[in-house]
Structure 1
Amino acid sequence: MIRPRRNRRTESIRGLVRETELTASHLILPLFLHEGDDDQPIASMPGCTRWSLAGLVKEAGEAHALGIPAIVLFPAIAESLKTRACEEAWNPDGLIPRAIAALKAAHPRLTVITDVALDPYNADGHDGLVDDNGIILNDPTVIALCQQALCHARAGADIISPSDMMDGRVAALRAALDSENFTDISIMSYTAKYASACYGPFRGALDSAPKFGDKKTYQMDPANGREAEREARLDEAEGADILMVKPALPYLDILYRIRQITPLPLAAYHVSGEYLMVKAAAASGWIDEKKLAMEQLTSIRRAGADMILTYFAKDVARWLQSSP
């Protein structure tokens, strides 16, 4: 009699036949930072912190020592520096360029990824420049994103990651980087970034919620799947090095579909709302935080992600080290 249960009989047998592996080397840790000298707990994201520069360098070093190969930076910008033109986004003396330099000096083998989008710097809170009628301007935004990406590249970033969802930005960013001989700087594109309800805690961490309307004219409709395949083909043709799906868990089918049509590495972002749901349920005593987080992240890998951006990265690395 055929009995599949024979392959599940002991932990060692289950390990031998396990199809999907999750290790610290598959993880990217998102980190928040601000201009202050203090490290501020983030109310909307328990366990996460808005770091000072010194705290950021220390936290990144701890993550790297746990085997996490990369971090991605998200800045909380002072309201006084936010404008409709977003000039602070490419200030060479701004928070992100200084953070990149500090991180690369302290941890030269750590991969530093930067978010390329205007919402942290935008008085309107949108990922793109906004005209007087409230329209998000695609092509002027792409020009601004190129300035931002070049600023990050000059500071020493390894990978720039456009999260804006403007059309044509990958090709423009590649051309801009190559024009200044940054041919080795990779582009990790937010290829299928959905207009999700899961971003609220993140926006609370950065105070970056849109001041009017929503982001549905540029982020993707959660009802669409074929459109994600189109975006993936466009980003690949325009020169992206890594594609990304965001959020992860509601879009495992999208991860799987994109995995079938491209040879490029594929990332998934396990976003703030997904993280907070686990934290809140664990705090109530209804679920086991470690078991559920590991199950979720393994499912993201199983669906086709080569790498996962997750706020659980350090926890997972420690859990894996303590496993027998």
Structure 2
Amino acid sequence: MKDLFFRRHRRLRSSANMRALVRETYLHKEDLIYPIFIIDGENVKSEIGSMPGIYQLSLDNLMEEMTEVASLGIKSVILFGVPFEHDKDEHGSGAFHHNGLVQEATRLIKKHFPEILVIADTCLCEYTSHGHCGVVEGGTILNDASLDLLAKTAISQAEAGADIIAPSNMMDGFVAAIRAGLDEAGYEDIPIMSYAVKYASAFYGPFRDAANGAPQFGDRKTYQMDPANRLEAFREAESDVEEGADFLIVKPALSYLDIMRDVKNNFNLPVVAYNVSGEYSMIKAAANNGWIDEKAIVMETLLSMKRAGADLIITYASKDVARWLDEEGKEV
């Protein structure tokens, strides 16, 4: 045995304090972005069946939710609008209406919680009668005709007080069109958090229950990315950087950690992981059946995203994570 040489890695794992001393990756409350679904109507707080603990909220119930968010120390929220079906039309005009759901929710939050960053999801699908993210003609999603509507939506959200615009539509040129529209309207200082790398994923199922936004025909594979492709992510992200994006979202997160690391290694912008609805719901379902330790699995999952290069994480587990971080002393 005296002649053996080998490295003793366990020396740095000998106690909790030793492990903390050499820990490489941390999760902080400031990393969390909490999604909120704003629905038409009054006195609505409707739990989403496929997303336990997540609710569709009418504007009159938003302040209760925001009070909890603020008390937990969560600094950022992202807003999604869920209009009545009869208010939807072919061009998604509710998305850019002055008194649209996201616009009104933004005004309310900025009035009562001005310190919280409001990120506005900028898309048309929740507002279109056909459920697609752009203008449809003859069964085809028209790219260029959609850009003006997306820019109008972004401008109306900025006018309402949104701190960050987050376009999720995946039309070619959407960042360029929105950046030009914001600048022309005098919102040069409003950043764009682009859904730069967004795959056509089966993990979005519960979100479509939450947003009532499933397409009425076909699918979104002509504009969202093929899950088999890696190099395409470089092209998409590079285009958005050139067009003026300030953040780059990778969506989904768990099955695309390799892509997240690629984006982080190749672009000098903050990277945002979207821990999507299907990822959240699978953990919730397993936890509710007593099959897993929910806290341990969620924390390990989010740390994997940070380790893969995420600077920020959009996650439905934000409130739970904030509580767990308090238990652990603000970081883990």
* TM-score calculated relative to the size of structure 1: 0.98
In 2, Cα distance between the equivalents of 1:57 and 1:97?
Answer: 15
The residue identity in structure 1 corresponding to 2:222 is T
1:86 aligns with 2:92: yes
Q: 2:176 aligns with which of 171, 175, 180?
A: 171
Q: 1:30 matched to which residue of 2?
A: 35
Q: Does 1:59 align with 2:65?
A: yes
Post-superposition Cα deviations, 1:251-271, rounded to whole Å, max 9, x if no partner, equal 000000011111100001000
1:108 aligns with 2:114: yes
SS in 2 for 1:152: helix
Q: Which residue in 2 is equivalent to 1:279?
A: 284
Please state if 1:8 is matched with 2:13: yes
2:127 maps to which residue?
121
Q: Distance in 1 between matches of 2:92 and 2:212?
A: 15
Contact 2:196 2:249 in 1 (8 A): yes
The amino acid across from 2:302 in the alignment is L
Question: Do the aligned partners of 2:91 and 2:134 also contact (CA within 8 Å) in 1?
Answer: no
Q: Which moved more, 1:83-92 or 1:295-304?
A: 83-92
Determine the structure 1 residue equivalent to 2:217: 212
Q: Distance in 2 between matches of 1:225 and 1:61?
A: 41
What is aligned with 1:77?
83
Give how far 1:227 is off: 0.5
- In structure 2, give the amino acid aligned to 1:24: K
Is 1:95 matched with 2:125? no
- Residue aligned with 1:182, SS: coil
**Post-superposition shift, 1:284?**
1.4
The one-letter amino acid of 2:130's match is D
Distance 1:135 1:25 in 2: 41
How far 1:55 moved relative to its partner?
Answer: 2.1
Quote the residue 1:188 is aligned against.
Answer: 193
**What's the CA shift for 1:75?**
1.2
Match of 1:262 in 2: 267
Secondary structure of the corresponding residue to residue 85 of structure 1: coil
- Separation of aligned partners in 1, 2:99 and 2:177: 24
The answer to whether the Cα contact below 8 Å between 2:82 and 2:101 also exists between their aligned partners in 1 is: no
Q: Which amino acid aligns with 1:322?
A: E
Match of 2:3 in 1: none
Q: Distance in 2 between matches of 1:198 and 1:60?
A: 27
Q: Tell me the distance in 2 between the aligned counterparts of 1:193 and 1:207.
A: 19
Matches of 1:266 and 1:226, distance apart in 2: 17
Identical-residue share of aligned pairs (%): 51
Contact 1:60 1:71 (C-alpha < 8 Å) held by counterparts = no
- What is the 5 A alignment of 1:305-320? 305-320=310-325
Q: Work out the CA distance in 2 between the residues paired with 1:262 and 1:215.
A: 26
SS of aligned partner of 1:74: strand
The aligned amino acid for 2:56 is: R
Point out the structure with max Rg over C-alpha: 2
The answer to whether the 8 A contact 1:116-1:163 is kept is yes
Is residue 194–residue 219 contact of structure 1 (8 Å, CA) maintained in 2? Answer: yes
Q: Is the 8 A contact 2:90 2:128 kept in 1?
A: yes
How far, CA to CA, are the matches of 2:30 and 2:95 in structure 1?
30
Give deviations 1:47-78, integer Å, cap 9, x for gaps.
10111213222212321232211000011110
- 2:192 is paired with a residue whose SS is strand
- How many Å separate the matches in 1 of 2:53 and 2:221? 30
Kept in 2: contact 1:26–1:306 (CA 8 A):
yes
1:237-260 Cα offsets, whole Å, 9 max, x none, are 100000000000000000000111
**1:241 — aligned with what?**
246
CA contact (8 A) 1:64 1:70 kept: no
- CA distance, structure 2, for counterparts of residue 299 and residue 32 of structure 1: 26
Cα deviations by residue, 1:69-124 (Å, 9 ceiling, x for unpaired) = 10000111100111112111111012111111000000001000011110000100
Contact 1:116–1:164 (Cα < 8 Å) also in 2: yes
Which amino acid is 2:25 matched to? T
Tell me how many residue pairs correspond in the alignment: 323
The normalised TM-score by structure 2 is: 0.96
Higher deviation after alignment, 54-63 or 108-117: 54-63
Q: What secondary structure does 1:218 align onto?
A: coil
